[in-house]
Amino acid sequence: MDKKLSEFVLSNDHSQVAEDLHRHFNFTLGRFNTDDLSGYMMTALALTVRDRLMERWRVTKAHEDGAKIRKVYYLSLEYLLGRSLGNAILNLNMQDSVRQALSEFSANLEDIEMEEKDAGLGNGGLGRLAACFMDSCATLGLPVIGYGIRYEYGMFQQKFLEGKQIEQPDHWLIAGNPWEIERNRHTRRVKFYGYSEYYTNDAGKLCARWTNTQDVLAVPYDMPIPGYKNDKVNTLRLWKAAATEEFNLQEFNEGDYADAVAQKNLAEQITMVLYPNDASENGKELRLRQQYFLASASLQDVLDDWVLEQGDGFSQFAEYNCFQLNDTHPTLAVAELMRLLMDERGLGWDEAWSITTKTMAYTNHTLLPEALERWSVRLLKELLPRLLDIIYEINARFLAVVAHRWPGDVSRQQRMSIIEEGTDPQVRMAYLAIVGSYSVNGVAELHSKLLTTGLFRDFYELWPEKFNNKTNGVTPRRWLAHCNRGLGDLVTEAIGPGWKTNLQELEKLRPLAEDSTFRQRWADVKRMNKERLRERVIQKCNVKFELDSIFDVQVKRIHEYKRQLLNILHVIHLYDRITRGDTEGIVPRSVLLGGKAAPGYTIAKLLIKFANNVSTVINSDKTVNPWLKLAFLPNYRVKSMEIICPGTDLSEQISTAGKEASGTGNMKFMMNGALTIGTYDGANIEILDAVGDDHFFLFGLRVEDIAEYGLHNQPNMIIEQDEDLKRVLRLIECGHFSLFEPGIFEPILQTIRNPHDPWMVAADFRSYIDAQERAAQAYSDEDSWFRSSILNTAASGYFSSDRTIADYAREIWKL
C-alpha cells in the first residue's frame, strides 16, 4: 500500500543531494567547471529534485492504476504554474538539505531559484486557479489528473516603449524544461475537417462515422505535481501537436518535400501559442482547433485507458470518471464524448447521453455577457462536421424538453436554444456546457447567485439542482509559506506548522493581534518584505518608494471593469492636492500598478500609457515626491506576485460591482496581511464577512444600486458637483499628462463622461476617495494597522484552495 519514506531509494540527506547535484551537473549536463554555474546549476538541482519526485510519482500511479477508483479529470486550456523548483523543494521537505548541499558549490538557493523561467501557460485568474487546484488535489491526495496544452509560447512578455505596451514572444522552453517527461507511447490522434458518413453495421444498426479527415497527433508531456509532505505526486498532462507520419510519407513520395514540411508546420501550429485574451476573442479558427484538440486527446486518453483496464463495457464509466470543465473553453468535450461513445464504441444515443451528463461538470468564471463564448456554425461545419451534427441533435432533444416543460413558450425556446439563429448562426458554448453537465458552478457566492438570477436564469428554473457555488481559493504553500518565509516562520513559531495544510488554524493568531511585541515582530517582517519589493521596483521601474509610505498595490489584467482608471484618478487627485499645498492629513503613499493588456484591447493599452505618463509627471516633481510615487511594473506574472503580495499594505480590489466573478489576488494579499480597499463584488464580500468591516475599506455602489441607478447615470452632473473630480479631469483635459501628445487620452475621458459608462467610474469616485482617506488615516496609527493586518491573515483560512477542492471533491466529484 502506501510506501513509506524510508522505502524510497534516494535519500534527502544533504550529502546524497550534493552527490546527485554533482552527477547531474557533470554527466547529465556535461559541465565540468563549477566556477560557472549559471543556468546549469538550476537544471542540475531541478533534476536532482525530479529524481525524488519520480519515485513518489511511480508509487502514486501504481496505487491508482491497480485499484478501481473514481478519478477526476480537470480540463483547462490554461495552467499558470509559474516556477516549480522552490515549490517542489518545499513540498518534498528538502529545504535544509538542498541549502546545505548547495553550500558545497558556494551557491545560494534563492539565487538559483531566480534562474528558473515562469511557466506562463495562462492569462490570469482562471489559469492560476487551475495551478492552485493541482497543488491542493495532490496535497489532499485526490486522484485528479490535469489535462492541458503544452504551448510552445506562453503569455507574451510585456515591455514599455515610451510608456506603451510592446508584446514580445515568451519562448519559455528555449533552455529546455527539466520538469516534463514526454510519453510518446500515449500519443493520440485528433481528427479535423472531412465529413460525416452514415452506414448500417453488421447488426443492421444505423451508425455514423467521421471520414476523410486530416489528422493531427497529440503527444503527451507529463509534469509532476507534488503534494505537500505526503509523498503523493499527481500528473498534469500537456498535449503537443505533431504531424502524422503517413501524412508526411505520402507528400514526400509525391515529391514535394517543401510542401510536406510546410504541412507539418500547419499541424504543429495548434499548440504553438497561448491566446492572450482573458475575455473571449471570437471566431479565431486556431483557437477552436486548440479547444477541440485538448478535448479530443484527453477524452481518448481516458477512454482508451478505461477499455484497457475495464474492458469495453461502459455501464460503470460514469461511476468512475468525472470531467471538470474550466470555463467553456473545453466544452466541445460534451459533443466529443458523445461521438467517441457512439461512433467508436458502438453505444446508442440514450446510453451515451446518460453517461455524458453524469460525468461532465462545468465551472463558469465570468458574468460579462460579451465574454461568453460563441462559435459560428459555419466554422464548426467545416472544421468539426461530425461534432456539429451531434450538437444539433443535443439541441433538438433539449428543446423538446423545454417545450414539454413550458408548452407554447416559443420565446423561451429561442432564448434557451444552444444555437443562436441569425444570418450567421452561432453555438452558445455555455448553454452546451449546462445542458451536457450535471453540475454548474460559479466561483464566489455573489457570482453564483447572479448566474441563477441573471445569465442562466432560464436554465436554473429548469434544473435548479445542477447549480452550486464553489468559492475560489489559493494554495497557502506558494502564497504564504514559499513567497513569504518571514511571515510563514513567524506564524509557525506562534501557532505551529499545522496551518500549511489546515489554513483555518490561522484563527489562532487572533489573540496575538492584541500582543504588542507580536505586532512589532509582524511589522518587522512586513518592513523586510517592503524592502525587497522596493528594490524590485527600483530595478524594474527606476522609481524609489519610501519605506515608511503606504504600499498601495493593484496588480491584475488591465480591464475597464477592474477600474485601474479609478485608481489613477485617485493618484491624480492626491497629486493635485499636494501641488496646491493642501497636504493636511495626506499620508505618504507609494502606488504600484502592474498587469498586461490584451494586444487587441485598445482602451486597455491606452490605460497603460496613461498610467506611465502620470507616473513620469508625478515622480519627477520634487515637491510631490515626499508624499506620492507611482510606478507601473512591467511584465507582471506569477513570480512578480510572489514578491509583491508580501510587501503590500493596501490591496486594491475595486471592480464595478457584479463584474468580477471572484478574484483570487484579493485572497493572496489578505493572507499576507494586507488590508483591502474594495467594492462589494466577487469574493471581496466573503473576505469582508470573514475579517469584519473594521479591517476592510468598503466603498462603491452595489449590484442592486447599479441596476437601478445605472439607468439614469449622469457622469457630467456628478463631475459638475464634485470639485475634486472636476479638477482631476481638467488636469487630464488640459494635457498635463500628455504635453507632447495632445489629446491622446481623449478616449479615456469619453468613457468617464459617457452616461452609458457601464463601469460607473464617475459614480464611484467620491466614495472611493473617501475610502482611501479612511485607509490613510488607519495607516497612520501603526498599532491599530498591524492589529488589522494580523486579523486579516487570521481570517484568511477560508480562502485556501484546499478548502475549495475539498468542497469540489465532496459535492461535485463525489470522491
356 near ligand 26Q, judged by CB under 6 A: no
Distances in whole angstroms, Cα of residue 269 to Cα of each of 240, 297, 381, 679: 10, 16, 21, 42
The whole-angstrom separation of Cα 523 and Cα 547 is 12
Contacting residue, 663, 678, 715, 797, with ligand 26Q by CB under 6 A: 663
The whole-angstrom separation of Cα 482 and Cα 484 is 6
471 near ligand 26Q, judged by CB under 6 A: no
Query: Which one of the listed residues 83, 478, 557, 570 is annotated catalytic?
Result: 557
Whether 84 and 236 have beta carbons less than 8 Å apart is answered as no
Verify whether residue 814 is a known catalytic residue: no
The whole-angstrom separation of Cα 145 and Cα 234 is 7
Q: Rounded to the nearest 5°, which phi and psi values hold at 274?
A: -75, 135
Verify whether residue 668 is a known catalytic residue: yes
The 8-class DSSP code of residue 278 comes to S
* Nearby residues of 762 by Cβ (< 8 Å), 6 or more positions away: 713, 715, 718, 719, 725, 752, 753
Query: Of 80-88, 270-278, 617-625, 721-729, which part binds ligand 26Q (CB under 6 A)?
Result: 270-278
Alpha carbon 133 to its chain centroid, in Å, reads 10
Q: Euclidean distance between the first and final Cα of the chain, in Å?
A: 19
Contacting residue, 37, 107, 126, 434, with ligand 26Q by CB under 6 A: 126
Nearer to ligand 26Q, 124 or 226 (CB): 124
Query: Of 125-133, 302-310, 516-524, 710-718, which part binds ligand 26Q (CB under 6 A)?
Result: 125-133
**b/e code 367-379 from CB counts within 10 Å (16+ = b):** bbeebbbbbbbeb
Verify whether residue 365 is a known catalytic residue: yes
287 near ligand 26Q, judged by CB under 6 A: yes
385 near ligand 26Q, judged by CB under 6 A: no
- With 0-12 / 13-18 / 19 or more C-beta atoms within 10 angstroms meaning exposed / middle / buried, residue 99 is middle
661 near ligand 26Q, judged by CB under 6 A: yes
263 near ligand 26Q, judged by CB under 6 A: no
Query: Of 142-150, 245-253, 659-667, 739-747, which part binds ligand 26Q (CB under 6 A)?
Result: 659-667
Contacting residue, 53, 80, 90, 129, with ligand 26Q by CB under 6 A: 129
Nearer to ligand 26Q, 19 or 281 (CB): 281
Contacting residue, 277, 492, 616, 784, with ligand 26Q by CB under 6 A: 277
Verify whether residue 492 is a known catalytic residue: no
Minimum gap (Å) between residue 286 Cβ and ligand 26Q:
10
The 8-class DSSP code of residue 634 comes to S
Contacting residue, 472, 529, 549, 651, with ligand 26Q by CB under 6 A: 472
Query: Of 200-208, 249-257, 299-307, 656-664, which part binds ligand 26Q (CB under 6 A)?
Result: 656-664
Query: Which one of the listed residues 596, 668, 695, 787 is annotated catalytic?
Result: 668
Contacting residue, 40, 57, 221, 275, with ligand 26Q by CB under 6 A: 275
Minimum gap (Å) between residue 790 Cβ and ligand 26Q:
25
The whole-angstrom separation of Cα 99 and Cα 108 is 7
SS3 218: strand
Minimum gap (Å) between residue 3 Cβ and ligand 26Q:
35
CB atoms within 10 A of CB 85: 22
Minimum gap (Å) between residue 152 Cβ and ligand 26Q:
17
Using alpha carbons only, how large is the chain's radius of gyration in Å? 27
Contacting residue, 612, 619, 662, 789, with ligand 26Q by CB under 6 A: 662
365 near ligand 26Q, judged by CB under 6 A: yes
Handedness of CA 552, 557, 560, 561 (dihedral sign): negative
Please tell me the count of residues contacting ligand 26Q according to CB under 6 A. Answer: 24
Minimum gap (Å) between residue 444 Cβ and ligand 26Q:
7
User: Apex CA 45: angle with CA 40 and CA 46, to 5°?
Assistant: 95
Positions annotated as catalytic residues are 365, 556-557, 562, 664, 668
Footprint on this chain of ligand 26Q (rule: CB under 6 A): 123-126, 129, 275, 277-281, 287, 329, 365-366, 373, 443, 472, 660-664, 682
